[in-house]
Amino acid sequence: MPPRAPTGTRDLLWPESWRFEEAAARFRALVEPAGYGLIQSPVFEYSWVFRRGIGEENDVVGKEMYEFADRDGQMLALRPEGTASVVRAYLQHRPGLPWKAWYLAPLLRHERPQAARYRQHHQLGIEALGVADADLDVEVIWVAHAYFATLGLADYSLRIGSMGDAACRPAYLVDVRAFFEAHRGELCDEHRERFRANPMRVFDCKRPECRAVTSAAPKLVDHLCVECAAHFARVREGLGSLGVAFEIDPRLVRGFDYYTRTTFEFASGAIEAAQNALCGGGRYDGLVEMLGGPPTPGVGFGMGIERVLVACDGEGVFRVDPPALDAFVVDVAGGDAARAITARLRKAGLASDRAFDGRSMKAQMKLADRSGAAVALIVGPAESAAGTVLVRPLRSGGDQEPVPIAAVVDAVRDAVAGASGRGAPGQSSPGEGAPGREGRR
């Protein structure tokens, strides 16, 4: 048996890896001009950073976190989610507020893998600290929405809710607990006792018993304090004014303890698998304090790149291919020319590759063809003696022509310009792959 990547992880090979990077590049192109700066933080933290932020009761901390003592006995954990790390970095460096950051980070959780779920996945995210204004909630949600639009996604829905805050949630929790207590017998086996620890979980349960009970239960969105209700209203108005469609979901319960007020989730309708959440986020006005800082509001989201790409496949959009090579050098006259010419082309900024090992011309031409290059540059004994190169178009009709070595760069540029007149490589073109679909090897 050949070696394998660990369970739940995978290798992304070219050209899929290019598409992944391109998706990230588009996110960056959207978010940086909106005032978000990239933050790179470590893939592991002291365990308490996540334990305090996410909550000990949560499965992500309780049974999914990769946690270990290092050689010095420090308890460390591989990052299972993005927000806590960013907030820890904020507290360490204290950049001026408001602080808006974006990230692309691998996240690790020891889950049982299934369709669109991995032990290592990657999230694009933004976090904004120091602003309580509901308009920032709107901006954050809008960013995710706008990003989907740049990819061409259309089949998705946005649900929003509110978790209240310290002023209204505790009183509400007393009410629901009492309600569930009264209807305890009607809850499913799992939640008959568990509702005491975390009553909000019951709203998330998919079993019909629980759903029947929760549909009649008091809803947090109906019991918000004046401030939270006003905040929630303003978020709804803001989204409406930007034309972002949403629905209010009183059952929307985000799993992490740090959420307050606004919560939201985007789900795709184009993912066949059970896991169709593309992006989840919300406001976390208490998190900075939980990690030992001063009261500081925050909002953000995390978006799973793998799932976004599955959604793109489902909708048949964002079908991008890496740019093809410009030239491939075929040398059957010893190899000196191949070395010199590829160097010359690359110095001039032309994408080029060549064959090695002194293979036959037929073999080299095959490689040239597979490389997707616009032209093959052929050097045989005759060309070598004459100081010329045969420029042979590969993707379009046209005859091959001898060109003096000094003019090779210009000749390739001309050939490439002629060949790419009908749509440059790397563009999104639904239904049809760009030239060079096979990619480089």
Q: Which of residues 19-48 bind RNA (CB under 7 A)?
A: none
CB of 273 to RNA, least distance (A): 4
d(CA 247, CA 180): 26
Query: Of the two residues 186 and 272, which places its CB atom closer to RNA in the complex?
Result: 272
| Binding residue for RNA, selected from 115, 149, 182, 230, defined by CB under 7 A | 115
204 binds RNA per the rule CB under 7 A: yes
Interacting residues with RNA between 362 and 391 (CB under 7 A): 362-363, 365-370, 376, 378-383, 390
Residue 422 makes contact with RNA by CB under 7 A: no
Q: Strand locations in 26-91, DSSP E?
A: 37-38, 44-46, 67-69, 75-78
Q: Is 89 helix (H, G, I), strand (E, B) or coil?
A: helix
Q: Is 245 exposed, middle or buried (0-12, 13-18, 19+ CB in 10 A)?
A: exposed
Number of chain residues interacting with RNA (CB under 7 A) = 71
How many other C-beta atoms lie within 10 A of the C-beta of residue 423? 11
**Under rule CB under 7 A, residue 251 binds RNA:** no
Examine residue 275 and tell whether it contacts RNA (CB under 7 A). Answer: yes
Q: Does 155 bind RNA (CB under 7 A)?
A: no
Q: Which stretch binds RNA (CB under 7 A): 24-32, 66-74, 268-276, 339-347?
A: 268-276
329 in Cβ contact with 365 (< 8 Å): no
**Closer to RNA at the Cβ: 113 or 426?**
113
C-beta of residue 252 within 8 angstroms of C-beta of residue 160: yes
Q: Is 162 exposed, middle or buried (0-12, 13-18, 19+ CB in 10 A)?
A: buried
Judged by CB under 7 A, the stretch of 143-151, 299-307, 341-349, 408-416 that binds RNA is 299-307
| Sites for RNA among residues 392-411 (CB under 7 A) | 392-395, 400
Site membership for RNA, residue 60 (CB under 7 A): yes
| Residue 96 CB, nearest approach to RNA (Å) | 28
Q: Nearer Cβ to RNA, position 230 or 403?
A: 403
Q: Does 127 bind RNA (CB under 7 A)?
A: no
Q: Which backbone phi and psi does 156 adopt, to 5 degrees? A: -150, 165
Residue list 132-151, contact with RNA (CB under 7 A): none
| Under rule CB under 7 A, residue 196 binds RNA | no
Q: By CB under 7 A, is residue 353 in contact with RNA?
A: no
d(CA 69, CA 167): 38
Determine phi and psi for 343, rounding to 5 degrees: -60, -40
Whose CA is closest to 261, among 226, 285, 295? 285
Contact 210, 201 (CB under 8 A): no
* Interface with RNA (CB under 7 A), residue from 117, 184, 192, 234: 117
